Every structure is written in C-alpha cells, then in structure tokens.
Amino acid sequence: MTPTVESWHNTPTELGPLYPLVGYEFVMFIACAAALLGFLVWKFRSENAHYCQMVAELTAPSPITTATSNSAPTGSPSHQDSQDAHS
Amino acid sequence: MDQELSALTVIFTEFYYWVTVVMMFLIHVGFCLYEVGVSREKNKLNTLMKNSMLIPVITLGFFLFGWWIYFAFQNGPGVTGALKSASWSEPWNPLMGPHLGGSGNNAAGLSQDELDLWPRLNGVFWAAFLLFSWTAGSILSGAVIERIRSGAFWLLSLVVGCVTWVLGASWGWSDAGWMVRVLGYHDAYASGVIHALAGGSALAILIHLGPRLGRFRADGTPRVLPAHNTWMIIIGMFLIFTGFWGFYAACNIPIADIDPDDTTQLFSATTIYLTPTTLSAITFNFLMALAAGMMTGYLVSHGDAFWTFQGGLGGIITASAGNDLYHPYQAFFVAAFGVWCAYKLHFWVEKKFRIDDAVGAVAIHGYCGSIGVLLVGFLLWGYPSSPDDTFAPITPWGQLAGAVMMFLLLGFVPCYIMTAALRRAGVLRIPREVEFAGLDYQLVAWEQEQRQEFSMAERQEFQTGVKEHS
C-alpha cells in the first residue's frame, strides 16, 4: 500500500488528506453503513430469541409444581397479548 | 499579521468546540446515572446498556447521514430553495477525515474556501452536534425505561438523533434555515429544536408502549415506584447541569466579525444565527434560570428532591430559547413559569391518559421547551431574528408555528408512526413475564448461583482448615 504522505518535509501547504486509501472513501462509507444496519438487524433478531428463551424458562413448570399438581400449567399470555393489553 | 490572526482564530475556534465536546460528555454520564438511579434493582444493568449503546448507534448514523442533513436541508428543501450543496459534510468527502487543508491530492475537487475553513473545524463542529444528538436520544431513553426492547429503542433514537432533530436544527437553528428566514423563528439555546422535539417524540413512544406493570390502580390513579438509588439521580442531575455549560458554549460561535458593513472590525461571540451575544450574558441567564427552576420545583413539589432537580433542568430549558437576549430577571420568571406549568401538566396527563413517563422527560423537555419557544414570541416580539434584514422578525405566531413544528410535526408524528409499526411487528415491548421477573433476571440468577457456589467452597475450605489445625 502506498502511503498518502511519503515525507513530512514536503511543503506543508500541499498536505491534504492524511489517511491511507484516499479515493476509497465511498467504499468505506458503504461498509460502515452495512455495519450499522447489520448491527441493528442482529440486535432485533437476537433480542427476539433471547426473550423467547426467557419466557420459556420463566413459564416452565418448576419441579415442585409438577410434583404437587397433575394439572397442566396455566399458560401465560403471549407477548403480543401483553402489547395488546395496553391498547 | 492578518494571516496569523486568522490562523489563531481558526485554531482557537477548533479548541473551543473541542472543549465543549468534552464538557458535554458529562451530560451523558449524568443521564446514565440518573436513569439507572430511577430504575428498579432488577432492571439496572439493562437500563444502563440501553442508554449507553445509543452512543455508538447515533455516532455512526450521525457520521453517515446526520451531519449532511443539517447543511443540505436548510431550505426545506422546497420552501426557500432547493437542496443545498454541502460537500464537506458528505460522508465520503476527504474533509470528513484527517486533512491539513493543503491542495495536494485534491481528487475530490474541494474549493479553496472549503480547504481554508473545514479541515480544522469539521470534526469539532460535527462532534458538538453529535453530542446534542446523544442528548436527544437520552431524553427518550429515560421516559421508556424498564419495558422497551433495546433494539426498538436504538432504532427510534437513531431516527430522532440523526434525522428529526437534525431537520429541526437545519430549519430553525442555523443561520440560513427556512424557519428563521420565513417565520423569524428564534431558539438560541435549543429549547425547541432539541428539548420540545425530543419531548414530543417521547410522548408518542409512551402512548404505544404503555405503562409499566402495576403502575396504575384500577381507578386510574398512579402508584409511585420509588427509585432504587436517590444519590445516583442527584449526582446525575448535577453532572447534567455541569455538562449544560458545555452545551451553551457549543451553541455559540466564539469569534466572529459582527460588523455588517465591514468598515470596522468588531469581534464578538455570536449565536448560531450569527447575532451577537456574550458568554457573560448567557452566564447570568443560565444561572438565574437554574435558580428559578429549582426554587419552583421545590415549591410546587413541597420539597421533593427529584422534582427540585428536575425543576432546575426545566428552568434552564424554558429560558434557553431567549437566553441570548433576556435580562436575568426575565430569565428567572420565564423559567419559573415553565417549570410550574410542566409540573402541573405532567401529573394531569399522567392521570388523565395513563402515561407512564418514568423520569418526567415529556414535561421537563417537551412542555418546558415548547413553553420557552412560545414565550420568546411575546418577550422578544419585533427583534430581528438574523443579521440579514430580509429575514422575518421574531413574532408570537412565528414562535407558535415553531413550537408546533418541533413538538408535534418533527417530534410526535414521526415517532408515533414508527412506534406503531414496531408495536405491530411485536418488537416494541418486552414480554410481560420478563418485565415481571426483571430485565436483569438471568444475570441476577447467575450471580446468586456464583455466590452460593463460592460460599459453599469457602465453608468447605474453612472446615478443612479447622480440622487441620485441631
């Protein structure tokens, strides 16, 4: 890779951009935009899975419940129900 | 000599904004402390991460499109002209990176004017605006704690922090924005463009999000959820006050020649509208507004610590729109009036509409900001809004239109639509089982397990040691 600045002894008034890969800014922009979008998509998906797992864990019959009751555990309202309850 | 002076001016301006950015970081530290303090023990880590992670999300968004929106949309576009060219703010422009302003390697075809000004100021201006964006996101964050999904919150804060507030600033908080030009809109320290707008956004989100479980009794009266750590709240509020000094300084341009005819040179600090002001003037008014807000908060809440400190913040926010021109007495009474109204409105709205605003963000930012913008219309009626005499002067109707624009059209409406979509998709609110158990439920369970294991191991080693010694 050729550095953008080859010597600090050149005329300072000619020093423009200092970073490497001048001319590839648009490519880096696309990569960065993809990173932001990817992060948000990942967060939505992982959060969904995480809460599904937590709900399953929290609503699973505990060993004590199973031992003392033969009846099926009463299911808790679904997530969508919880949102609709506020409408 | 002239060149040395202008170089000194540019380098001083660069350093000035850099310092304001460092100070404004304290606002975010304050918001984090404050929110975590208000949240309950079972939700504190999630609350912290939800707010903290808006930093990378908004930073990236503001670099990619927020900064460009601020310059490009000043004409509407379509109200006073077309989309403006603002090459230095395009995310692929060489000036959005380390650049010494020299003419070498100028493949992007930058003009000499751009090369003279932007290499040293672009990053620090960008950062000052970015910190305002974080604040906008943080205002939403406090209102929605303990039941919103983090992903949904970050998406909403990205929209408010990188699009809607930036549009508000572009239109009403720039030297050439169409609202300043056409309406004579005046909002020197951002009562409307940040606070009213973010407050309106928070209200829209809260309507769809709903209250926390158990927040209201069957008859609609609210239950109080005591904060888990009052000290965190108070220290957080003090840090927000401290960071607010940086915010005020960042709203000014530190050195500009304010002589319109260029016959003599008179240097002064100016507001964002390029109208002259002084740091001395805003220091008077900032502190008088803080004093009035705290006093009013204390008075109306009968000495409640939370509302006393919130009142201080609300006082500053109410007076901010006109704090470049008010007399300190005026700043005092404007601030007191704003906080009194916001306090009364908060409890009325809470009871009437069952809005669970956990930190009073809609009241302190939304109502105080809107009231502040409106009062400017009466107290500063007829003042020129800009050094450009072709711009409309400040009027009550211009300010009313500005308040409606900020709170309702740019704040409430976009967030209402977006939150409705997120709710419909089932990704807005956490499941009620998780809300009941606490967002940190798994962490708490894991910590308890670790403590138990450690305690058992400790006991075992202790007992072995006792046997060896005996």
ipTM here: 0.92
Q: Identify the CATH number of the domain in which residue B327 sits.
A: 1.10.3430.10
Closest CA to B59 of B13, B84, B34, B28: B28
Query: Is the minimum CB–CB distance between A76 and chain B shorter than 8 Å?
Result: yes
Chain B residues 123-152 with a CB less than 8 Å from chain A: 149-152
Distance separating alpha carbons of residues B331 and B97, to the nearest angstrom: 40
pLDDT value of residue B5: 80
Asked if B104 and B129 sit in the same domain, the reply is yes
B282 and B410 belong to one structural domain: yes
Q: Identify whether residues B449 and B411 lie together within a single domain.
A: no
* pLDDT score at B80: 94
- What is the arithmetic mean of pLDDT over A51-72? 73
Q: Which residues of chain A lie closer than 8 angstroms to B96, CB-CB? A: 25
Q: Tell me the residue range of the domain where B450 lies.
A: 440-470
Considering the domain architecture, whether residues B216 and B342 belong to the same structural domain is answered as yes
The pLDDT assigned to B39 comes to 95
Residue of B nearest to A53 (CA): B434
pLDDT digits (tens, 9 = 90+) for B15-57: 999 999 999 999 999 999 999 999 999 999 999 999 999 999 9
Predicted local confidence at residue B262, as pLDDT: 67
On whether residue B369 sits in a domain, the answer given is: yes
Chain B CB contacts of A80 below 8 Å: 426
Q: How many domains does chain B have?
A: 2
Examine the domain organization and report whether B14 and B60 are in the same domain.
yes
Residue % of chain B over a pLDDT of 90 = 83
Please give the pLDDT value at position B343.
Answer: 97
pLDDT single digits (tens) B135-190:
999 999 999 999 999 999 999 999 999 999 999 999 999 999 999 999 999 999 99
Mean pLDDT of A53-70: 73
Instruction: Let me know if residue B268 belongs to a domain.
Output: no
pLDDT value at residue A13: 76
Residue B400 counted as domain residue: yes
pLDDT at A67: 55
Both B79 and B171 in one domain: the answer is: yes
How far is it, in rounded angstroms, from Cα B41 to Cα B339?
30
pLDDT surpasses 90 at A73: no
User: Mind telling me how many Å the CA of A68 is from chain B's nearest CA?
Assistant: 23
Does B213 fall in a domain?
Answer: yes
Give the B window 332-351 contacts with A, CB below 8 Å: none
Decide: B374 and B403 in contact? Cβ < 8 Å.
yes
| Residue B134 pLDDT | 97
Q: Indicate whether B43 belongs to any domain.
A: yes
State the Cα–Cα distance between residues B17 and B304, nearest whole angstrom: 36
- Residues of A whose CB is below 8 A from B91: 25, 29, 32
pLDDT of residue A8: 83
- Between residues A8 and B408, the one the model is more confident about: B408
Q: How far apart are CA B244 and CA B231, in angstroms?
A: 20
d(CA B338, CA B368): 5
In this model, does residue A1 exceed pLDDT 80?
A: no
B310/B373 same-domain check: yes
Q: With an 8 Å Cβ cutoff, is A40 touching chain B?
A: yes
B335-344: per-residue pLDDT in tens? 999 999 999 9
Residue B77 has pLDDT above 50, yes or no: yes
pLDDT mean over B427-435:
96
Question: CA-CA distance, B226 to A29, in Å (whole number)?
Answer: 46
Contact B172, B190 (CB under 8 A): no
Q: Which residues contact residue A10 at a Cβ distance below 8 angstroms, ignoring those fewer than 6 apart? A: B104
- pLDDT average, residue stretch B300-311: 95
Q: What is the reported pLDDT for A66?
A: 55
B21 with B103, same domain: the answer is: yes
Predicted confidence (pLDDT) at residue A82 exceeds the cutoff of 80: no
- B93 and B203 both lie in a single domain: yes
Higher pLDDT pick, B66 / B77: B66
Q: What is the mean pLDDT of chain B?
A: 94
pLDDT at A77 exceeding the cut of 60: no
pLDDT range class, residue A78, cuts 50, 70, 90: very low
pLDDT for B234 beyond 80: yes
Q: Is B214 on the interface with A (CB under 8 A)?
A: no
pLDDT number for residue B237: 96
Q: Is the pLDDT of residue A63 over 50?
A: yes
Q: Does B99 touch chain A (CB under 8 A)?
A: yes
- Whether residue B272 lies inside any domain: the answer is no
> What pLDDT was estimated at residue A14?
81
| Contact across the interface for A83 and B60, Cβ inside 8 Å | no
At residue A81, the pLDDT reads 42
Order of strands, sheet of B276-277, starting from the edge strand that comes earlier in the sequence: B253-257, B267-270, B276-277
Q: Is the pTM of this model over 0.80?
A: yes
Q: Is B264 helix (H, G, I), strand (E, B) or coil?
A: coil
B351: phi then psi, degrees, rounded to nearest 5: -75, -45
Kindly identify which residue of chain A lies nearest to residue B106, measuring between CA atoms. Answer: A16
Decide if B269 is inside a domain: no
For chain B, how many helices (H) and strands (E)? Answer: 19, 3
Instruction: Let me know if B443 is exposed, middle or buried by CB neighbors in 10 A (0-12, 13-18, 19+).
Output: middle
pLDDT at A71: 46
- Inform me whether the C-beta atom of residue A36 falls under 8 Å from chain B C-beta atoms: yes
pLDDT band at A84 (very low <50, low <70, confident <90, very high): very low
φ, ψ of residue B69 to 5 degrees: the values are -60, -40
A 10 A CB-CB count for B209 gives: 25
Quote the CA–CA distance of B370 and B362 in Å, as a whole number.
11
Residues B139 and B175 in one domain: yes
Higher-confidence residue: A6 or B217? Answer: B217
Q: Which of A16, A26, A39 sits opposite B103 (nearest CB)?
A: A16
CB contact under 8 A, A76 and B155: no
Q: Where are the alpha helices (DSSP H) in B210-276?
A: 230-251
Q: Which of B84-88, B264-268, B365-369 has the lowest mean pLDDT?
A: B264-268
Backbone dihedral angles phi then psi of residue B85, each to the nearest 5 degrees: -80, 130
Angle of CA points B199, B414, A49, to nearest 5°: 95
Residue B259 domain flag: no
Task: Tell me whether residues A86 and B427 touch, CB distance under 8 A.
Answer: no
Does the beta carbon of B387 lie under 8 angstroms from any beta carbon of chain A? no
Residue B247, pLDDT > 50, answer yes
Q: Please report the pLDDT score of residue B197 as a whole number.
A: 98
- Domain shared by B148 and B249, yes or no: yes
Q: Is B301 helix (H, G, I), strand (E, B) or coil?
A: coil
Q: Is the pLDDT of residue B104 over 60?
A: yes
**Pick from B372, B359, B364, B297: which is nearest to B330 by CA?**
B372
My answer on whether B101 and B137 are in the same domain is yes
- Kindly give, in sequence order, each residue whose CB lies less than 8 Å from that of residue B146, ignoring residues fewer than 6 positions away: B39, B40, B43, B47, B212, B358, B435, B439
**Chain B residues close to A4, C-beta within 8 Å:** 105
A20 compared with B467, residue with greater pLDDT = A20
